[in-house]
Chains A and B, each alone.
Chain A
Amino acid sequence: MSLLSVLTLDENELVACVACGLCLPHCPTYRVTGLEAASPRGRIAAMQAVQFGDAPLDATFERYMEECVQCRGCEAACPSSVPFGHLMEGARGVLHEQRRSERRWRRRLAEWLGYRLVLPRHRLLLALTWLLLVAQRLHLVPRRLGLPRLSVRSLARRLRVPAGDAPDAYLFTGCVMDAWQRDTHRAAIRVMAATGARPGLPRGGADCCGALHVHAGREEEARRLARRVIAALPGTAPVVVDSAGCAAAMKDYGRLLDTDEARTFATRVRDFSEWLARQPPPAVRADGGRVVVQDPCHLRHVQHADGAVREVLGRAYELAETDDDGLCCGAGGAYNALQPALATQIRDRKVEAIRRAAGDGRPRVASANPGCAMHLAAAGLDVRHPADLLAEALE
């Protein structure tokens, strides 16, 4: 361990925790483990211990930080509004810089492939997706990964929007979602058009929003991606995002880049439902049946757009609520791949809550984030994006 191995988090943010413990029940990892080390209060205490020199920045500390899903449910629950997400991203950033060399080579290779090679290059991601499709047909991709059935038709066809230069609203297409769930984008475009607005697509360069990079503490890479996204979406039209994790990250571009341009851009970003709730309602059939609403954490705790989802879905469906205060499902971007054991325990709680809310029969679940949808689908649930559900209900 070198002498440089210290945390340098904002001290005022760090001491703002009075250790009251009101965050505990809202933390998915605390809920399934009961461990202080897996709680927001414990993680802050660990950050304090390391930053103030009472404990080393070692593998134990790294494990505590990496067990966090970064759902930010604690932030919404904290009466003192401790900026936990910011502290955690800062801690991850320091870990990324100082602990990288001690990580196993397999992990370093996987990180390099994912964060550096594939995500920033959308064409490469699409090419790999074709390979994945072939593998899926050969039954080489286990179901438990939750990957939706990729379709040749969907992948071969480009997204189409009405011609013209200045759209009323952009649909941000992103990385994984465009590769694996492009039909949801199609549904979003149909619903957007049904409101009378003219949807548009980003120019080239908006390969990835960088949300996963921020969560992994790779802020420099995230900044590069964010600049490209901003350049690909010129003008003043709203930027509609149908992935809750991406929208939350893009709304934070002002802090990430610290420029006026980024701050202005961030004000244009809207979650799909948030945008739709402010448009003339499209005509829908109101007999869609019962749907259990699952709030992606970055929709509910970060964007506070959970009300909008209910408003737009409620026009066509009978909505059922879970009784778990919007506790995280355990997907957490890449979390379910990095911490499979915890992610599965957290999901088990969520699936139980969804079944309780659904009553009889196989529940249909609405989730506005691709990661949550895949994670829950892997547990055998029928999960749909609100855009899919609304497009289905269009008259």
Chain B
Amino acid sequence: MADLRAALGPDRARAEPLELALYQRDAGVDRGQAAAVCFPGTVDQLAAAVGIAAWHDRPFVARGSGTGLAGGATPVGDPLVIVTTGLNRIVEVDADERVAWVEPGVLNLDLSRAVHHLGLHYAPDPSSQQACTIGGNVATNAGGPHCLAAGVTAAHVLAVEVVLADGSVAMLGGLEPDAPGYDLRGCFVGSEGTMGVSGRIAVRLTPNPPAVRTLLLDFSTIEAAAATVSGIIAAGIVPAALEMMDAEITRAVEDFVGAGYPRDAAAVLLVELDGLPAGVEAQVEAVRRVGHEHGARTVRVAADDAERALLWKGRKSAFGAIARIAPDYYLHDAVVPRTKLVDVLRQVYAIAAEYDLTMMNVFHAGDGNLHPLIVFDQRTPGVWERVHAAGDAILRACVDAGGVLSGEHGIGLEKRDAMPLVFTPDDLDAQARLRDAFDPSGRANPEKILPSGSRCGELQRVPAGAWI
């Protein structure tokens, strides 16, 4: 603490028990305990804080806004928590090159707003975009509704100044289109703080589309909605966003926003189309036709920007609106092939019924990225066991259908122990070695992503008495 206070200033490092209690968790469910928390105000201070952790051989966990959904910012191993919210300057915007250099604590939506007058925006738009930081987005390789057409965070990060676990700083990637050598930038994006902490980040800015239309389709069965998703893609349309919400979640968000979401629908689809005006109008008609062919009850086209904004506000508030039903949620993030959507959804609801749990679904249907939410009240005795068992069953169903564990939230702490479902011991060992190459000390956000025992040496214990 003395070193931190000396390096950062007396107000920028704290260890009062109540202060630490506020950094026990992110927006996921797992809690941990920090040894201290610090708030660097410059990238130099950030590097200094990491260096001090190294000097004292102490683990460290970087944290932005704490909106992560997989426990990635949960402090494990009595670490120093390094909060990046004070690093919130947009350093430079080059409108011609469409590049911005930002500090890691800049909020995602603040960046888009700051460049709006230049006709540009930052494309990845996680539901938490008003609150989450770019640094956190880089760590989780965040997605968002509009990543269906635009691609996830990795496609929009050109270079990252990384503070490595020993406190040294390295620049990964660059502004040139195709840098020679290994793509270490690509390796760092999505590493969830296990390879170091983002300093300044160069992000790609995207021109605002000339025309945007948002459609709301409602269905009396989930199957019809899912079939429409496949139908839209099969018709050769790649919407800017293609989102689905089931009955319960639709009612919950409607209670909050009052956007006119149909309360009696079994499922709704939110489809956004953008591009040149004539092309967009043709796509609107095509989506309307596909919807009606698959039994859509109504197809509503948002009349203006205000109505569009309200519909999106509803969709992006979905997780936060859960407490209208129960105070806790456990969220999965699995991705399944689009063609298996109907089948997997059916299984997911069956699993919920089997474990007597309330299940909702709100997800990026266009890319098959499910967000099944189990809602519960942790004050109910024995509910945790059921929640975890159902969660495992859901993951297994998704993996059996050819899916993966996480589309955008990351693995963090919550999904870590499910990694062997999709990776062989050799795969895990290779990943552990890659991680070790960045952080040989293992102090950068320990115990995240890779389950213990991922390294070969840990896995294959030599039986006693064996000859080696």
Q: Which residues of A contact B (CB under 8 A)?
A: 15-25, 34-37, 41-42, 45-46, 49-50, 54-55, 58, 60-61, 64, 78-82, 323
SS class, residues of chain A in contact with chain B: loop
User: Across the interface, which residues of B come within 8 angstroms of A25, CB to CB?
Assistant: 107, 109-110, 130-131
Q: A17-B323, A34-B105 are in contact. Are A60 and B22 (CB under 8 A)?
A: no
Q: A16-B323, A20-B319, A24-B65 are in contact. Are A36 and B131 (CB under 8 A)?
A: no
B324 contacts chain A at the CB level, 8 A cutoff:
yes
> What are some 23 contacts across the A-B interface (CB < 8 A)?
A16-B327, A18-B322, A18-B327, A19-B66, A20-B320, A21-B27, A21-B65, A22-B67, A22-B317, A24-B65, A24-B67, A25-B131, A34-B85, A34-B88, A36-B23, A46-B21, A50-B18, A60-B16, A60-B18, A61-B18, A80-B322, A80-B324, A82-B323
Complex: A78 Cα to B252 Cα, angstroms: 12
User: Across the interface, which residues of A come within 8 angstroms of B319, CB to CB?
Assistant: 18, 20, 79
Question: By the criterion CB–CB under 8 Å, are A42 and B22 in contact?
Answer: yes
Question: By the criterion CB–CB under 8 Å, are A18 and B131 in contact?
Answer: no
Q: A24-B131, A55-B17, A80-B322 are in contact. List 4 more A-B contacts (CB 8 A).
A: A16-B323, A21-B128, A25-B107, A49-B18
- Residue in chain B with minimal CB distance to A45: B22
Q: Mark B8-37, 1 if CB is under 8 A from A, else 0.
A: 000000001111011111110000000000
Counting from the closest, the 9 A-B pairs by CB-CB distance are A34-B85, A79-B320, A80-B323, A79-B317, A79-B321, A20-B320, A21-B67, A36-B22, A15-B327
User: Across the interface, which residues of B come within 8 angstroms of A60, CB to CB?
Assistant: 16, 18-19
B297-332 at interface with A (beta carbon < 8 Å): 317-324, 327-329
Complex: A58 Cα to B109 Cα, angstroms: 36
Complex: A323 Cα to B114 Cα, angstroms: 10
Q: Which of A18, A54, A58 contacts B21 (CB 8 A)?
A: A54
Q: A37-B19, A64-B18 are in contact. Are A18 and B379 (CB under 8 A)?
A: no
User: Across the interface, which residues of B come within 8 angstroms of A61, CB to CB?
Assistant: 18
Question: By the criterion CB–CB under 8 Å, are B22 and A80 in contact?
Answer: no
User: Across the interface, which residues of B come within 8 angstroms of A18, CB to CB?
Assistant: 27, 319-320, 322-323, 327-329
Smallest CB separation, A324 vs chain B (Å): 10
Question: By the criterion CB–CB under 8 Å, are A80 and B320 in contact?
Answer: yes
B86-114 at interface with A (beta carbon < 8 Å): 86, 88, 105, 107, 109-110, 113
Complex: A323 Cα to B25 Cα, angstroms: 31
Question: By the criterion CB–CB under 8 Å, are A37 and B22 in contact?
Answer: yes
B83 contacts chain A at the CB level, 8 A cutoff:
yes
- Residue in chain A with minimal CB distance to B319: A20
Complex: A23 Cα to B256 Cα, angstroms: 14
User: Across the interface, which residues of B come within 8 angstroms of A82, CB to CB?
Assistant: 323
B188 contacts chain A at the CB level, 8 A cutoff:
no
Q: Which of B66, B105, B321 contacts A80 (CB 8 A)?
A: B321
Smallest CB separation, B249 vs chain A (Å): 11
- Residue in chain A with minimal CB distance to B105: A34
Smallest CB separation, A306 vs chain B (Å): 14
B39 contacts chain A at the CB level, 8 A cutoff:
yes
User: Across the interface, which residues of A come within 8 angstroms of B21, CB to CB?
Assistant: 45-46, 49, 54-55
B335 contacts chain A at the CB level, 8 A cutoff:
no
